[in-house]
Amino acid sequence: MFDWFKNLFYPMISPDITQSLVALLITIGLGVFIGKLRLKRVSLGVSAVMFVGIFMGHFGYTVNENISGFTRDLGLILFVYAIGIQVGPSFFSSFKREGTRFNLLSTMTVLFGGLITFVLYKIFHLEIENAVGLMSGAVTNTPGLGAAKASLQEIQSQFSERTFADPAIAYAITYPMGVLSVIIMIILTKSVLKINLKDEHSIINIEKEKEEIRVVRKKIRVSNPSVIGKSIESLLVENDLNDIIISRIKHTTSTEVFTPSLNTKLRERDVLMVVGQENALDRFTNLVGKESEDQEIESENDIVTRTIYVTRKSATHKKLSDLDLLNKFGLRVTRVYRSGMELLAVPSLELFYGDRIRVVGTKNDIAEVEKVIGNSQKRLLEPDFLSLFGGLVIGIMIGSIPIFIPSLPVPVKLGFAAGPLLAALLISRYGKLGIIHSYINNGAIFFMKDLGISLFFASVGLHAGTHFYENFVAYNGWLWVVYGLVISVIPLIMMVIVGRFFMKINYFQLVGLMSGTYTDPAALAFSNGYLDSDIPTQAYATVYPLVTIFRIFVAQMLILLCV
């Protein structure tokens, strides 16, 4: 009578689709629950899903091989694409500031790990395929494992008499400790170096404010006789203040507040509402007069301030100068908000789908502009699957491009880890690629990240847990775990010492670099919860693409040079 229940929930040697889905869902559910449990404010977060998967795999729960591969790759694609979309707008600017030294530190760590692997291979006479499997698991790098297996298959096809061990066995044994080593190093670094999270956060915020273009507004009273009678246009042009925006003006003899045109002439004791960069506003204040405390300039009786969402094609990827809202509608655009960034509305600024623009004008004029700009919040809430899946397809295409390197028998590919990430970074940087745009609302991004990483961990954990104990005993697993820890921990220690003491890298960024250098989404998920910050994600995305390429290259070179 209850055979159906047994078929669903009891472990099966050859599970069908339904049984595989149940195993995946139970693994994810239990993992999420356990990940929320805290021990002295420390929790595993989403990474607990993988360890639950290993535990369940050990007790016989398996997933159909085709389904396991599909959910693992789909989860990884969704996760890295969501990261790329989230950090894309700030990625390239951060790369100009600190990306070079971040990538230098990360690639040094990758090469150091490869060197340690080679030394272990020589000293302890390991098979190189097992050594590369140990390295790939110790640094939690699946693309490197895939590249090594592809190289072995290519060599075996040319020399059919040769046989090789499966590096995936060593990978499965060292992978759990690879994940834990980064998480433990994050915790130990904070404890041993006595990191004060509040101080670190304050320091990085101060540095960010110095580097970012900070947009502010001021009320300024006209009192300098030399500017009285001049038009706004001539005043700004003569003094090279074209990045200043005067959104409101009130004459001293009137209570009326209006949006000035470039031809508006300044009168004595006029009050101006001015928006721009802080240093430019200071110059403008000294030129025109002094700051004012006038409250009437902020009145919403005559003109109002509104935020409009860019949702129509007629405004998307148009420059503000092309839209010419001031001359056509009498509206002044002061700021544009994009992916958490505040941008000054200079005429050359190009609008992206989903941008929020701050406008000043009459209610009637704003209503007319909404017909051009869109302002449909409902459209932004509706998922644009064409853009989403189109972007994913482009990412898969990038990851599948063969990169031919002289002397290597097989081409190198970026794979599902780096391809979708690069596609997302480029699409979010430029706002679109053909008909594909970059906007995804924050709720959808977080859903994609969590769903993707949960599917990935559940698939990897259940697969690694199958015959985990048997392989562990057969291949002297404890010794392999020690080798894996050497490959994992020594480069991490070097990275922390060099990064913290010589490069003076902020702890929040260093955590992201550790996770990104080890291509470890579990450590990233843990760090975001542990630090309650998205700063590690930005550092992670800065080094992830190049590190993935180096991981693939090192794994293939070890195989080709030592086989």
Q: Quick one: pLDDT band at residue 340, thresholds 50, 70, 90?
A: low
In sequence order, the β-bridge partners of residue 248 are 273
Nearest-angstrom CA–CA distance, 184 and 186: 5
Among 132, 55, 96, 133, which Cα is nearest to 466's?
55
Alpha-carbon distances of 333 from 222, 255, 283, rounded to whole Å = 22, 23, 21
The four Cα atoms 305, 307, 313, 316 give a dihedral, to 10 degrees, of 100
Q: Which two tokens stand for residue 270?
A: 């006029």
**Residue 8 burial (C-beta neighbours within 10 Å; 0-12, 13-18, 19+):** middle
pLDDT in tens, 408-459: 566 667 777 678 888 888 888 777 777 787 778 777 888 888 888 888 888 8
pLDDT in tens, 536-556: 888 887 887 778 778 878 887
What is the per-residue DSSP string for 260-296? PPTTPBP-TT-EEEEEEEHHHHHHHHHHHEEE---SG
Nearest-angstrom CA–CA distance, 384 and 391: 11
Q: What is the pTM of this model?
A: 0.74
pLDDT score of 75 more than 80? yes
Task: Indicate the helix (H) or strand (E) that contains 309.
Answer: strand 304-309
Nearest-angstrom CA–CA distance, 67 and 17: 8
pLDDT average, residue stretch 137-165: 75
Please enumerate, as own/partner, the contacts of 248-252 that have beta carbons within 8 Å and a separation of 24 or more: 248/272, 248/273, 248/297, 248/303, 248/360, 249/273, 250/294, 250/296, 250/297
Q: Quick one: pLDDT band at residue 96, thresholds 50, 70, 90?
A: low
SS3 for 13? coil
> What pLDDT does residue 188 have?
93
Task: Indicate the helix (H) or strand (E) that contains 104.
Answer: helix 100-123
Alpha-carbon distances of 152 from 169, 408, 446, 480, 550, rounded to whole Å = 15, 12, 38, 21, 18
pLDDT average, residue stretch 171-181: 84
Q: Quick one: pLDDT band at residue 330, thresholds 50, 70, 90?
A: confident
Q: Which residues of 285-302 are buried (b: 16+ CB within 10 A; e: fewer)?
A: beebbeebebeebeeeeb
pLDDT in tens, 194-232: 998 888 888 877 776 665 556 788 889 998 888 888 888
Q: Is residue 152 within 8 Å of 555, Cβ to Cβ?
A: no
Q: Quick one: pLDDT band at residue 354, thresholds 50, 70, 90?
A: confident
Say which amino acid occupies 264: T
Q: Count Cα atoms within 13 angstroms, Cβ side, for 153.
A: 8
pLDDT average, residue stretch 176-181: 85
Q: Quick one: pLDDT band at residue 81, thresholds 50, 70, 90?
A: confident
> What pLDDT does residue 117 have?
95
Supply the mean pLDDT for the chain: 83
Nearest-angstrom CA–CA distance, 26 and 381: 30
The domains found in the chain, sorted by start residue, are 212-379 (3.30.70.1450)
Query: Which residue intervals of 313-384 are DSSP H helices?
Result: 320-323, 325-329, 363-373, 377-381
Higher model confidence: residue 438 or residue 129? 129
pLDDT average, residue stretch 384-393: 84
Alpha-carbon distances of 34 from 27, 54, 309, 394, 463, rounded to whole Å = 10, 14, 40, 36, 20
Q: Is residue 46 within 8 Å of 524, Cβ to Cβ?
A: no
pLDDT average, residue stretch 128-152: 82
